[in-house]
Amino acid sequence: MSDNRKGNTMISPWDAYNQELVFHVRPPDWKNPKPASRYNLVVIGAGTAGLVCAAGAAGLGAKVALVERHLMGGDCLNAGCVPSKALIRAARAAAAVRDAGAFGVHVPEGVSIDFGQAMERMRRLRASIAPHDSVRRFAELGIDVFIGEGRFVDADTLAVAGERLAFRKAVIATGARASAPPIEGLDQISYLTNETVFSLTELPRRLAVIGAGPIGCEMAQAFARFGAEVFLVETLHGILPREDTDASGIVLESMLKDGVKLLCCGKELKLAKADGDKIRLTVKSHGKGYDEVVDQLLVAVGRAPNVENLGLDAAGVAFTQKGVQVNDRLQTSQPNIFAAGDICSPYQFTHAADFMARIVIRNALFFGRAKAGALTIPWCTYTEPEIAHVGLYEKQTREQGIPVETFTREFREVDRAILEGRTNGFARVHVRKGTDKIIGATIVASNAGDLISEITLAMTHKLGLKRIADAIHPYPTQAESIRQLGDAYNRTRLTPFAKSLFSKLMVWRR
């Protein structure tokens, strides 16, 4: 881990909750087992991809070794999904109190937000989830757990902590870390990444966030809701550049309301040390120059794959700066070595790592022919409102020459959303023109991450919009919007000829 970052490590502060976390994911008294003569599967990296591979393979009777150099659970548990979502929940509570007046709930003056307590809650919850990914749990599953850095000696052997593990098959699941962009002055200052931001115990009064992707947006909004003055710097226009622009526009509006100052189309970004351990940030955004001194800076401009010191050359595994190269069966250039998760995928999500791992188990241990390309992978950014997406964006359908028809249901037309005061959002589905086959969907709603699963299920099992229209959804729910998209599709099937025929039939039957 680089020293050039504020805070110590992701396991600071050393309080009872972080001690409990470490007790589970890197027990200080752990003794590596004596290696078996040969393993069916050696797994390098105990993040989501590695844990799922190891547990799945061991459950099927394979002799498995799992090698982790830092903390079991990887990014998701320790420095990703889990701590970020705990923090976002606390920030939502703060915003709910702020907005309570709109519901006739008058909160007395003098309400304060205890950031330290919100972080402590996060550490407590993270520690409570940790047993699931713990060294002991995996050892009890019959897996040989090795704490240490794994390095290939050749295509059949991995070295770890002074031992050699001989294997028939191996899977590289070493994940990714925050990348450090070539920003002038970045190497001169201390800055936060996802590995250190969750170690904060005091709210920075002024925070700069570089990068308006999922990490930048989720954290910028949460910290603004806690009361920090947040500057969000982005090279491109707007936020979440991959998303449907109508969708990201709604989230941006909400973030601006929370007080986030967006400096997009950022140019000539420079960083320097300022007095009192602070950071000076200068940038041009939309032609205007900004010169701000901030207490902390969070860098969130994408991920760099953990390919270093792995002995990939010795094993004959091809890789680039984007990660380990795999075919659709997740096999590397060395046929008995596979890869799964962030190390080899553009879909850097926990659930994607999980399902890639399942593919590896089938293909590595059972001569399976499962393909990663066949997965339908949804994703969600947990801002308020959330943006969830599955399948193709409209822009991609144009690029690929797929003719589509788009149906959108605005939440201002959905009773439950009106009653909840959550009308800023929509559910949008693209179907292949002339059919009800769903090609892609975007949902913007407070609970979009939950709502998208209905569309994912439909796409996975090839159920069209017409079938969704046939399913009764409880009233009043926001999920009704998805059924209403089905109704909208059905209305397009009623041609003027069919309509006039029905009218005549009705007149005759009166």
Ligand X SMILES: Cc1cc2nc3c(=O)[nH]c(=O)nc-3n(C[C@H](O)[C@H](O)[C@H](O)COP(=O)(O)OP(=O)(O)OC[C@H]3O[C@@H](n4cnc5c(N)ncnc54)[C@H](O)[C@@H]3O)c2cc1C
Binding site for NAD(+): residue ranges?
211-218, 234, 302
351 binds ligand X (CB under 6 A): yes
| Six token digits for residue 88 | 């976002």
Burial class (CB in 10 A: 0-12, 13-18, 19+), 229: middle
Figure out which of the listed residues 51, 192, 197, 233 binds ligand NAD, where binding follows CB under 6 A. 233
350 binds ligand X (CB under 6 A): yes
Q: Which does 424 bind (CB under 5 to 8 A by kind): ligand X, ligand NAD, none?
A: none
216 binds ligand NAD (CB under 6 A): yes
Give the C-alpha separation, 158 to 145, whole Å.
14
Query: How many positions of this chain bind ligand NAD (CB under 6 A)?
Result: 27
Residues 154-213 close enough to bind ligand NAD by CB under 6 A: 181, 183, 210-213
Annotated binding site for FAD: 85, 150, 342
Sequence-distant (≥ 6) Cβ neighbours of residue 43 within 8 angstroms? 50, 53, 54, 57, 64, 65, 66, 67, 170, 171, 173
332 binds ligand X (CB under 6 A): no
Give the C-alpha separation, 406 to 304, whole Å.
36
270 binds ligand NAD (CB under 6 A): no
68 binds ligand X (CB under 6 A): yes
Residues 437-456 close enough to bind ligand X by CB under 6 A: none
One-letter amino acid identity for 17? Y
Q: Which residue has the tokens 């707007």?
A: 238
126 binds ligand X (CB under 6 A): no
427 binds ligand X (CB under 6 A): no
379 binds ligand NAD (CB under 6 A): yes
| Six token digits for residue 275 | 């007095």
User: DSSP H helical segments within 130-230, as ranges?
Assistant: 135-140, 214-226
Sequence-distant (≥ 6) Cβ neighbours of residue 263 within 8 angstroms? 231, 232, 233, 234, 283, 285, 290
Q: Which does 468 bind (CB under 5 to 8 A by kind): ligand NAD, ligand X, none?
A: none
Q: Which does 301 bind (CB under 5 to 8 A by kind): ligand X, ligand NAD, none?
A: ligand NAD
Minimal distance, residue 73 CB to ligand X, in Å: 7
Give the C-alpha separation, 55 to 138, whole Å.
7
Minimal distance, residue 92 CB to ligand X, in Å: 14
The beta strands (E) that lie in 182-287 are given as 206-210, 229-233, 261-263, 266-274, 278-285
Minimal distance, residue 391 CB to ligand NAD, in Å: 16
Sequence-distant (≥ 6) Cβ neighbours of residue 407 within 8 angstroms? 428, 429, 431, 465, 485, 488, 489
Binding site for ligand NAD (CB under 6 A): 181, 183, 210-216, 218, 233-236, 241, 266, 269, 300-303, 348-349, 379-382
Binding site for ligand X (CB under 6 A): 44-50, 67-71, 74-76, 80-81, 84-85, 149-150, 173-176, 194, 215, 306, 310, 341-343, 348-351, 353, 382
